[in-house]
Each structure stands twice: as structure tokens, then as C-alpha cells.
Amino acid sequence: MLNIHRLTLLREVHQRGTLAAVARELHYSPSAVSHQLSQLEREAGVPLLETVGRGVRLTEAALRLVARTDEVLTILDTAEAELASSRSGAEGTLRVTSFQSALATILPTALTMLEKRHPGLNVEVYHREVGEAFEGLAAHSYDVVIGDEFPGQPEPVRPGLHREELFADPMLLVLPTTGQWAVPAEELDGLADLADAPWILEPATMPQGRWERTVLREAGVEPRVKCETTDPILRAHMARTGHGVTVIPAMLAGPHLDHTQALAMPGSPHRQLFTAVRDGYTGHPGVRAFRTALGAAARRESPDTPEQL
């Protein structure tokens, strides 16, 4: 009989391309991964891997086996969710991964709600970038991803995952209140008036960074990037201390934007927040409780929309 753990390793090799990458992700040695896959080949009775350069490639038989493994894992997720539903209330461990602005705002509020309503549910939180988060979700390293999507930067459709919309988060233009770029809102006609300003942006490799540069260039601004960071709180602090202009999600309005001038951007663009879980886990009571608490936290923490540029 085929071993489900070894099938999962084969699936990971298909996703990551090398035994070393699988070993790093799962905290094994490469030799241990190789040994397990060799045993799987003996169980299957057909070759499953072929060497290509420094990596490996799955054979046609292995690809068919991976497809069946996805089906099996979905069935096991569903069975686990059904068993959990037979118990009273949400309990056990739920592993959640998210980006920083959610971790700094709505997630702590949701966790406080869950501690009161579902004391038997232990939520573990991991800060991960989007690619690593979704890879971990597919690999069963995490159970829930909190994600975001920017205008013109759609998240890819990922088979086997269930997405549930959370809320729309307006994007704010944030200016300092002291220094050269402390420009009153009434003196700005648009983003083009900030063409010479130093900008504090997300890296261009990130969805928000790509979106920011697209918006600025469409307004005739080729941004002069003074600071590039994925940390929104650092970006806000750089603007607060007069070192440039930035774009911050409204979710972070409040103490993080004290002593700055925050304006709704032209056209009122927003990012869409959502949660994603594996299809078989949608009915898990812990997932349902977490999604409910997160939605309630989002409604509680949603800021008022500032005046528009």
C-alpha cells in the first residue's frame, strides 16, 4: 500500500523542484527525503523521478500520482473537519499566516475575541510573505492565509483553495506635517504635484510595490525612491519624520499615522483583503470561528475615510 507521508513528499518535490528545497521546508535532511522517495518508488513499482541538471523531474506516472495525492489530502482534510465538528465548540490548534498590517491591527482584536468565545482553540500566528504563505497552506504547514489583492494585480487562482472576501481597505497617500513635503491638501491638485518628492515605497517585486509604481507613472510621476521596505510601519514613520511621501493602507490609520497628513488617493483605490483555506477545511469549526472573529474585528477596526486628494 502507498504511504501517504511519502506521497506528500513527492507532491512537495513537484512543487519545489529539488530535494534540497523540500528538505529545507520540512526540516529534513536531503538524504532522508531521498530515502523516503526511494521507498515510495519500490511501493509504486515504477520510476517516479528522473534527474535533470541539479534538480529532479517527475515522471508521467509520478504526475498522475501527485494528482491523486491532492484528492486524497482533500478527503483527509474533510474527514478531519467532520470529526472536529462532532465535538462541542472550536478547539485544537489553528495555524494562521498573514502579512504585517493585518498582524498589527485586526488580527490581535480577532484573537482577543476568540480567547473569550472559544478558549479551547489555540491560534498560532506566522508572519510570511505571500508566496511562502500559499506554499505553506498547500503543504499543510498552515491552515489559514490572510491575503490581500491590489487593483490590477490579481492574485492567481489556486486550485484546491477556498477564498472568502474580508473587506476593502482604502489606500491612503501619507505626507509629513513638517519639512519640505508638508504640503496642505488644498494646495495639491493631484499626484503630479509630488513628482519631485522622495517616495517611500514597497519593493517593486511585491504586489503593492508594483501597484504603487503603476499608479504614480499613470499620473506622470517617475518616483524618486528614497526608502524601499515591506514594513508599512517603517514607511509611516519615515513620512512622519519628514523624509518623504508614502502610501499606506487605511487599516493602519490611527496611532501609526499620528502627526502625518493622510489623504484618500485619487479615484479612491483600495486593496481587497481575503482569507484562504484548503477546500476540505472550509467546514472546520476552528476555521469558521476564526473567519467570523476576523470579520468582526475588521468591522470594529475599520477607520473613517479621510478627505480625498
Do the strands 161-176 and 260-264 form a parallel or antiparallel pair, or are they unpaired?
A: antiparallel
Q: Residue 112's closest CA among 290, 304, 302?
A: 290
Tell me if 251 sits within 8 A of 110, measured CB to CB. no
The confidence score (pLDDT) of residue 84 equals 85
Class of CATH domain 4-82:
mainly alpha
Q: Residue 127 gets which letter from DSSP?
A: E
**Residue 205, phi then psi, degrees to nearest 5:** -80, -10
Whole-angstrom CA distances from 89 to 21, 39, 83, 149, 183 are 38, 41, 12, 32, 53
CB-count exposure of residue 220 (10 Å: 0-12, 13-18, 19+): exposed
Tell me if 246 sits within 8 A of 197, measured CB to CB. no
Q: Strand, helix or coil at 178?
A: coil
Instruction: Give CA–CA dist 78/72, Å, rounded.
Output: 10
Residues 130-170: pLDDT tens digits? Answer: 888 888 898 888 999 999 999 988 888 888 899 999 999 99
Q: Residue 110's closest CA among 309, 305, 289?
A: 289
| Structural domain boundaries in the chain | 4-82, 89-168+271-301, 170-269
Q: Residue 3's closest CA among 49, 29, 35?
A: 35
Identical topology for domains 4-82 and 89-168+271-301: no
The confidence score (pLDDT) of residue 306 equals 63
Q: Residue 105's closest CA among 288, 298, 235?
A: 298
* Residue 47: count of CB within 10 angstroms of its CB: 12
Instruction: Give CA–CA dist 278/161, Å, rounded.
Output: 4
What is the pTM for the complete model shown? 0.81
CATH topology of domain 170-269: D-Maltodextrin-Binding Protein; domain 2 (3.40.190)
Class of CATH domain 89-168+271-301:
alpha beta
Tell me if 92 sits within 8 A of 104, measured CB to CB. no
Q: Strand, helix or coil at 94?
A: strand
Tell me if 52 sits within 8 A of 58, measured CB to CB. no
In sequence order, the 6+-apart residues with CB closer than 8 A to the CB of 80 are: 280, 281, 284
Instruction: Give CA–CA dist 156/165, Å, rounded.
Output: 15
Regions of the chain where pLDDT drops below 50:
none
The confidence score (pLDDT) of residue 229 equals 94
